[in-house]
Amino acid sequence: MAQRQSRPVDAAGPVPATEAVPYDLIELLFFAYRDFVGGPDRILAEYNFGRAHHRVLHFVLRRPGLTIAELLDILKITKQSLNRVLKELVETGYVEQRTGVQDKRQRHLHATAAGQDLASRLIQLQARRINAALDQLAPEAAETVAVYLAGLIDPAERHKVTSFLAAPQ
Max distance between CA atoms of the chain, in angstroms, equals 57
pLDDT digits (tens, 9 = 90+) for 28-82: 999 999 999 999 999 999 999 999 999 999 999 999 999 999 999 999 999 999 9
Least confident residue range of 49-58, 86-95, 113-122, 139-148: 139-148
* Contact of 111 with 94, CB cutoff 8 Å: yes
CATH number at residue 96: 1.10.10.10
pLDDT of 116: 98
Q: Same domain, yes or no, for 87 and 44?
A: yes
- Residue 86: domain span: 23-135
Q: Same domain, yes or no, for 105 and 145?
A: no
Q: Same domain, yes or no, for 84 and 130?
A: yes
Nearest to 43, CA basis, from 32, 54, 30, 58: 54
Q: Distance between CA 128 and CA 134 in Å, rounded?
A: 10
How much is the CA Rg of the chain, to the nearest whole Å?
Answer: 18
The residues, any chain, with a CB within 8 Å of residue 105's CB and separated by 6 or more, are none
Q: Is residue 70 part of a domain?
A: yes
The span from the first CA to the last CA of the chain, in angstroms, equals 37
Q: Same domain, yes or no, for 72 and 155?
A: no
Give the DSSP letter of residue 3.
-
Look up the pTM and report it: 0.85
Nearest to 96, CA basis, from 115, 79, 113, 109: 109
pLDDT of residue 6 exceeding 70: no
- Which residue type does 98 have? R
C-alpha to C-alpha distances, 112 to 19, 22, 53, 118, 130, nearest whole angstrom: 50, 43, 14, 10, 26
